[in-house]
Amino acid sequence: MVVFERDVERWLAEDLGHHDVTNQLPGDTLGRLIAKEDGIVAGMDAVRAVFEYLGVGVDPGVADGDSIRAGDTVLTVEGPTREVLRGERIAVNLIGHASGIATRTRRAVNTAHEVDETVRIAGTRKTTPGLRSLEKLAIVAGGGDSHRLDLSHMVMVKDNHIAEMGLADAIAHFKARVSFATKIEVEIERPEDASTAAAAGADIIMFDNLAPAAIERGVAGLSAEVLTEASGGITLETIPEYAATGVDVISMGSLTHSAPALDFSFSTDANQARD
């Protein structure tokens, strides 16, 4: 993960405030980040960046995407006690949030693959402001697809565009304004519109808030060259129904906005610090 220095500075400023008295302790210490639940770990690069910015040595015990068990030490740090403690809460928050997303994503992927091993589970842009990179990489760590990272990565023709211009004209409007390498995805709400969108030049058809039976009808009328995506209110429980429709991708906002954090703890022991 690419963590820019300004991100770490922002996280530290948010937590430390203008005058951190709480962590004014002398000496050096060892610290361990320990999993309290089973799951899939993610966010290791972000955590490492925080401690390294503070001048603390870092020894990772796992990598993003690894399965972890309760009691596993995922990271060991060593350095000035003041700096170790300054990074503690940020590290726990980041890794807990990212690992929760990775764990939920892995569950979604495994559930989908019980029905169709080729279908991909993807995230959406329903991410936490300022944490999209962390959250998207957590999805990847869980075995999912990041989908578009921002609006520059792909054009999505949505219902508002279609209402303003009409389906075919909206697609033509955007095709005339993007690079040949930029894909165009079209969001449809009626299965019969799928073939119309494909004929107009859509690269990807998103079936939005449609029942599985309706999506299956829409997919059946399309060439295999057109990617298909199901989205809108899909849950872990309903994934099998959508995976059976023949779509290539199932996108889920709940991977990021509803994933519970995985529980971690952080402990220090000054007596274990090496000379």
175 is catalytic: no
Q: Locate tokens 């993610």: which residue?
A: 42
**Burial status of residue 130 (CB atoms within 10 A of its CB: 0-12, 13-18, 19 or more):** exposed
Q: Are 144 and 105 in contact (CB under 8 A)?
A: yes
Alpha-carbon distance values, 77 to 29, 205, 273 (Å): 8, 47, 10
Given 36, 126, 136, 158, which residue is catalytic? Answer: 126
Which residues are registered as beta bridge partners of 155?
A: 184
Q: How far apart are CA 93 and CA 76, in angstroms?
A: 16
Q: How far apart are CA 56 and CA 241, in angstroms?
A: 48
Catalytic residues: 126
